Amino acid sequence: MLLAVVTLAAFVLAPYLFWRGTWFGRPLTDAQLEQYLLEDAKPRHIQHALVQISSRIERRDPAVQRWYPRIAALGRHSITELRVTAAWLMGQDNQSPVFHEAVRGMLQDSEPLVRRNAALALARFNDAQGRPELRGMLQPYTVRAPREGLLRYRLTVGDVVNPGTLMARLEVGGGEPLEIRSPVPGKLERKIAVEGARVGAGEEVLAIAPSADHVWEALRALYLVGTAEDLPEVERFTRVVRDWPEKITQQAQLTVERIRSR
């Protein structure tokens, strides 16, 4: 029963994907879906179409398969939000070889949210290739300086961050400071570099503790595809931790039991 629930449940990453202030619940006709999916100049139209197609996949509507090649191609789109959403959507039909092949390639994406949704999607295909990324969802995420500059923090340790939260600025000379924004949700766990220090390109700046939602999703995915190699990371969450939802401890225990039974 649990396996079915884990496999069929929608990723909680989905709320991060929908652009703020936009509602995509309005049904679209097939002709509108066809048009919207091709409107690269109107990315919100593409987003609307993807959400509507996801709803139809949940209803097991086979007619949407005509758009699968276009959805797979969106996994290479220049707009990050569309790649994130495409990866999430392709996990909704874990019988599609077109989607399976596409999300495999998305494990190499430059954006962590894309890679994470791809790894979660692959777990629904019972494909373990995303295991390193799933383990990464259980660990602090290290943010590096995009270039050399003087570091000025904007947050304090313990502050909650979401994708896009401004965490620090780099003073790079006479021009405008370069912003360092969070690529993932969580909490600012540690400042690695000293305030006001000159950091080099690629140097570690800070660490973000994982969010509860991402930990829970990773644990559920590892329930499906995890191996003994993943146990040390999973077992850390079997101990009750203050401020963490009880469901995380429960899922970690179930995941450990499942991995050991394989």
pLDDT score for 23: 64
Radius of gyration of the chain (CA): 20
How is the chain classified by DSSP, letter by letter? -HHHHHHHSPPTTHHHHSPTT----S---HHHHHHHHT-TT-HHHHHHHHHHHHHHHHTT-GGGGGGHHHHHHHTT-SSHHHHHHHHHHHTT-TT-HHHHHHHHHGGG-SSHHHHHHHHHHHHHTT-GGGHHHHHHTTSPEEEE-SSSEEEEE-S-TT-EE-TT-EEEEEE-SSSPPEEEE-SS-EEEEEE-SPTT-EE-TT-EEEEEEEPHHHHHHHHHHHHHH--GGGHHHHHGGGS--TTS-HHHHHHHHHHHHHHHH-
Model confidence at 54, in pLDDT bands (50, 70, 90)? very high
pLDDT score for 242: 78
pLDDT score for 233: 97
Angle at 131 between CA 60 and CA 1, to 5 degrees: 45
pLDDT of residue 12 exceeding 50, the answer is no
Model confidence at 27, in pLDDT bands (50, 70, 90)? confident
pLDDT of residue 227 exceeding 70, the answer is yes
pLDDT score for 16: 43
* Sign of the dihedral defined by the CA atoms of residues 36, 37, 39, 40, in that order: positive
Question: What pLDDT digit, counting tens, does each position of 231-247 carry?
Answer: 999 999 999 877 889 99
Identify any residues that bridge with 144 across adjacent strands, giving them in sequence order: 204
Question: What pLDDT digit, counting tens, does each position of 104-129 carry?
Answer: 999 999 999 999 999 999 999 999 99
Question: What pLDDT digit, counting tens, does each position of 74-83 carry?
Answer: 999 999 999 9
Question: What pLDDT digit, counting tens, does each position of 141-196 carry?
Answer: 999 999 999 999 999 999 999 999 999 999 998 789 999 999 999 999 999 999 99
From the number of C-beta atoms within 10 Å of its C-beta (0-12, 13-18, 19+), residue 229 rates as: exposed
Model confidence at 32, in pLDDT bands (50, 70, 90)? very high
pLDDT score for 25: 67
Q: What is the pTM of this model?
A: 0.89
Mean pLDDT of the chain: 91
Percent of the chain scored above 70 by pLDDT? 90
Taking the C-alpha atoms of 178, 184, 186 and 190 in order, what is their torsion angle to the nearest 10 degrees?
-50
